[in-house]
Amino acid sequence: MLEIRNLDVEYRVPGGIIKAVNRANLNVAEGGSLGLAGESGCGKSTLGSAIMRILAAEGRISGGSINFDGVDLLGLSEAKMREVRWRDISMIFQGAMNSFDPTMTIENQIAEAIFVHQSSVGRKTALERAWELLRLCEISPTLGKRYPHELSGGMKQRACIAMALILHPRMVIADEITTALDVMIQAQIFRLLRKMKEEFKLAMIVISHDLSVLAENCDHLAIMYVGHIVETGRCHDVLHSPKHPYVKGLQFCIPKFGSNREVIPAIKGSIPSLLSPPPGCPFNPRCPIAIPECQTVPPKLVPIDTDGHSVACHRHDYEGVVWK
């Protein structure tokens, strides 16, 4: 349903131009769910905003294509794109942060998409639909009259989900939706999200830096590193038989119960500056198995099996131990 081909996104910053997303390729099937993981600043949220074409003023899509149901989103006029937003693809924001307007009641913000997209629908009907969704999201509709600051983080996150579904979109992008919430609430929110996915037959892109959250909630996974998608495939394949040394390294980041206080091995070094990325593979300065080719030739994302498991690494067939 969603096909992203060779997408480039740039930001103009005081020191020059940085490539936040570099030749990204992604597919999301009808009703499928894709997890997008990576550390802060790797471009995963930028990729989400690029799909909606709501990049900040400094950002710009400099190449590639985004195809949604046969429509090239990058070719649409701004007015046409405004219609697509929320009606076809909506977003769940990090509700605990200030993604609600403090001067507007919750119900008005949930119904706002109806006011904007379907002006023929009366105010009363719009609000009734908002209450209906609040109820589905397990919030009492009476809370709709409240202002954002009167709700807890978990309630706001539920309201955010209600808001995303108000126009019955076919795809939802969930951007770090549980980042500021505790684990209990996190589990509740994702249970709700799965329920809604069933109910509305949604396709989803879940953006998170938490691999365990994605493993639980998605069927496909894409791992990003400084603007590049380095490995993608079915969740199980990527997590259980990773091929990229970076993804192999991430495996160790999840501490195991009962593992006698062992020191978690860290990937040495730090992410390179986006202003002057290393030539060749972006991971080569930190990679223990880099070969000279890695420093000159950027690896392409190539399929390694027939199930869509793809890796961007010159040494993806390396069988030895990468991290000690």
Partner 1 sequence: MKQVKSRIAIKARDLRNFWRDFSANKLGLVGLAILIVFFFLAAFSPWLAPFEPTEIRAGPLMGRPSEVHIFGTDQLGRDIFSRVLYGTRLSLLVGLSAAAIAVVVGTLVGLVSGYYGKASGEALMRFTDLFLVMPFLPLVMVLATLLGRSLFIIMVVIGITSWPWMARVIRSEVLSLKQRAFVERARAIGCSNAHIIRKHILPNTLPLITANAILIIPVAIMAEASLAFIGLGDPLTISWGSILESAFTNNAVTLGLWHWFIPPGLGIVFLSLGFALVGHVIDEVVNPRLRKKGA
Binding site for partner 1 (CB under 8 A): 49, 52, 54, 57, 82-87, 90-91, 93-94, 97-105, 112-113, 116-117, 127, 145, 147
Specify the residue, 103 or 306, whose C-beta has the smaller distance to partner 1. Answer: 103
Specify the residue, 116 or 301, whose C-beta has the smaller distance to partner 1. Answer: 116
**Nearest-approach distance from CB 282 to partner 1, in angstroms:** 27
Q: Are 15 and 21 in contact (CB under 8 A)?
A: no
**Nearest-approach distance from CB 248 to partner 1, in angstroms:** 35
Residue whose pair of structure tokens reads 């919750």 in the numeric block: 106
Specify the residue, 113 or 230, whose C-beta has the smaller distance to partner 1. Answer: 113
Residue whose pair of structure tokens reads 């009808």 in the numeric block: 30
Main-chain dihedrals φ then ψ at residue 294, nearest 5 degrees: -60, -25
d(CA 180, CA 144): 22
Specify the residue, 51 or 223, whose C-beta has the smaller distance to partner 1. Answer: 51
Q: Are 279 and 290 in contact (CB under 8 A)?
A: no
d(CA 244, CA 75): 34
CA angle 31, 35, 36 (to 5 degrees): 130
> Nearest Cα to 11, choosing from 54, 63, 46?
46
Largest separation between any pair of C-alpha atoms in the chain: 66
Helix axes 78-87, 106-117, angle to 10 degrees: 130
Specify the residue, 108 or 232, whose C-beta has the smaller distance to partner 1. Answer: 108
Specify the residue, 102 or 255, whose C-beta has the smaller distance to partner 1. Answer: 102
**Nearest-approach distance from CB 252 to partner 1, in angstroms:** 33
**Nearest-approach distance from CB 111 to partner 1, in angstroms:** 11
Q: What residues have CB less than 8 Å from 14, skipping those under 6 apart?
A: none
**Nearest-approach distance from CB 49 to partner 1, in angstroms:** 8
CA 114 vs CA 85, 120, 132, 174, 236: distances in Å: 12, 9, 14, 20, 39
**Nearest-approach distance from CB 134 to partner 1, in angstroms:** 15
**Nearest-approach distance from CB 196 to partner 1, in angstroms:** 18
Specify the residue, 10 or 237, whose C-beta has the smaller distance to partner 1. Answer: 10
